[in-house]
Amino acid sequence: MSAVLRVAYVTPELSPYAKSGELADVAAALPKYLASLGVEVVVFLPYYRQPELESLEKEVIVSHLPVYLGERVVKGRVWRSTEGRFTLFLIDNPRYFWREKIYGSGKGDYLDNDERFIFFSKAVLETIKLMDKSVDIIHCNNWSTALVPVFLKTLYHRYKIFKRTATVLTLHNVAYQGMFPPESLALTGLNWKYLQSGLVSLNGHFNFLKAGIVYADMLNTVSSSYRRELWTQKHSHGLASILKTRRQELISIRNGIDYELWDPAHDKYIAWNYQPGDLEGKRRNKLDLIEEFQLDLPPNLPLLGTSFYLSERKGIDLLLEAMDELMKLDLGMAILGKGEEIFEQALLSMVKKYPHRLGVRFDWSPALIHKLVAGVDMFLIPSWSEPCGLNQLYGFRYGAVPIVRTVGGLQETVRHVDPQTGQGTGFVFQEHTSLALIRTVREAIRCYRRPSLWQKIVRQSAQLNFSWEIPAKKYLRLYYRALQRAGIQKRR
């Protein structure tokens, strides 16, 4: 009989409780699918003061958790909640986590993000140590949890409970690295030699993500295209050299989507349930979305939608540049998202200019996101960088044909439509320009005006399978590779 694999999944985001990007959706789905494979999963998340977390049924399991930040002791609490197929542990400290946003306001990052996430990373290890129940794998995500592998192999290596624990670090987006002044190292308790040797530093900064890349047993990113991009300076943001030294330990596993949650036939958030590929059901949800966004759009005209973090990396600059030309076309547009204040204000100005053709909501509630993908005819993703992308996968499932820039995981998943044969699953442009975006939207509209062609595109896209079942099995194999690399024998 095989031994049960125990995994601690450490994340700063978890849908629907705390979301800044796609990591939140991944963190909500992957542990659930791992559990279906027989893995015992616990998830660690900061206890943000969000209504959804407040309403969770939970209990305090550690009322006084001491965490050393330099020479200071900062106390926290740990809450436990059974969240479906996994156990959720919430690391509580109001000073650090009782804030409106996860990483910062629309004006910039919180100035104490170094202290906040050093505390969180150490608190995770202290909780595991205190519970006295070992885990085989600690799976970390992005810069904000990347110090866990560092601490495990330095400050915590002497503890017996961690002797048979390996680490995995997933690089969802290396554009965000957690770069702080060298003085931030003092909060970790690490010796200055780690900074001076370059193990945890880059370009004069204490770099959380680089530190995790150096110390994690195995690394992965979220599409093979993005893995290739990481060998270039353009997309690695200065990490190409260190990533090349770990080429053998860096693999790609493309994200999936939770088909239990993203299923138009049973979606509790949308106005009308329908089978994937059913255009009549799609039309009814389109009418609901037009009303939701207070648009004045005849239902026979195309409705374009998008949802992303409002930053240049996600292509909001291209969309704003293209908006005047797009509004000359016979279409409506619905935009969901939050982000940098300058772009939020620019969108509000555009709404005033086109009040009945353009709708914008600075919101990421699950209900609105599901309504959006169920109601729009086309889903625009104009990203400068997109390691994997989930919105195009939601679009396939709900009949929202994606219009994307060919980068990262988008180029792996979206095949450009041939208007002669109808083969293809979306519309792709390569240049990072507003002209390329406008040209591709126009091409999509021409196809939309041919109902039989559009129906073929929607229906063949709906047959694609991007569920988490296959990626979860790949993560299971990755965990065993991490154990092997750490010199730990574990029976399967």
- Summarised one tens digit per residue, pLDDT across range 70-124 is 999 999 999 999 878 899 999 999 999 999 889 998 788 999 999 999 999 999 9
DSSP state of 284: H
pLDDT band at 157; cut points 50, 70, 90: very high
Per-residue confidence (pLDDT) for residue 58, from 0 to 100:
94
Residue 171 has pLDDT above 50, yes or no: yes
Question: Does residue 471 have a cis bond before it (omega within 30 degrees)?
Answer: no
pLDDT tens digits, 246-266 = 999 999 999 999 999 999 999
Mean pLDDT (the chain) is: 95
Residue 4 has pLDDT above 50, yes or no: yes
Residue 2 has pLDDT above 70, yes or no: no
- Give the three-class secondary structure for 249: helix
Cβ atoms of 247 and 219 within 8 Å: the answer is no
Per-residue confidence (pLDDT) for residue 235, from 0 to 100:
84
Q: Tell me the C-alpha to C-alpha distance, in Å, between residue 148 and each of 78, 117, 308.
A: 17, 10, 28
Name the one residue in this structure whose structure tokens are 């006295």. 132
Per-residue confidence (pLDDT) for residue 20, from 0 to 100:
87
Residue 364 has pLDDT above 90, yes or no: no
Return the CATH number of 6-256+469-485, one of 3.40.50.620, 2.60.120.10, 3.90.1150.10, 3.40.50.2000: 3.40.50.2000
Residue 234 has pLDDT above 90, yes or no: no
Query: Is the domain defined by 279-462 classed in CATH 3.40.50.2000?
Result: yes
Q: d(Cα 108, Cα 252) in Å, to the nearest integer?
A: 31
Residue 297 has pLDDT above 50, yes or no: yes
Domain with CATH 3.40.50.2000 in the chain: 6-256+469-485, 279-462
Q: d(Cα 19, Cα 16) in Å, to the nearest integer?
A: 7
How much of the chain exceeds pLDDT 70, in percent?
99
pLDDT tens digits, 108-121 = 899 999 999 999 99
Please tell me the total number of residues recorded for the chain in this structure: 492
Instruction: Enter the pTM of the model.
Output: 0.94
pLDDT tens digits, 261-273 = 999 999 999 999 9
pLDDT tens digits, 447-491 = 999 999 999 999 999 999 999 999 999 999 999 999 999 999 877
Residue 1 has pLDDT above 60, yes or no: no
Residue 390 has pLDDT above 50, yes or no: yes
Residue 350 has pLDDT above 60, yes or no: yes
Please report, in angstroms and rounded to a whole number, the separation of the first and last CA atoms in the chain.
Answer: 8
Q: What is the mean pLDDT of residues 188-207?
A: 94
Residue 284 has pLDDT above 50, yes or no: yes
Count Cβ atoms within 10 A of the Cβ of residue 333 and give its class: 0-12 exposed, 13-18 middle, 19 or more buried: buried
Q: What is the mean pLDDT of residues 188-210?
A: 94
Q: What is the mean pLDDT of residues 221-248?
A: 92
Q: d(Cα 63, Cα 61) in Å, to the nearest integer?
A: 6
Buried b vs exposed e over 45-71: b needs ≥16 C-beta within 10 Å?
A: bbbbebeebeeeebeeebeebebbbee
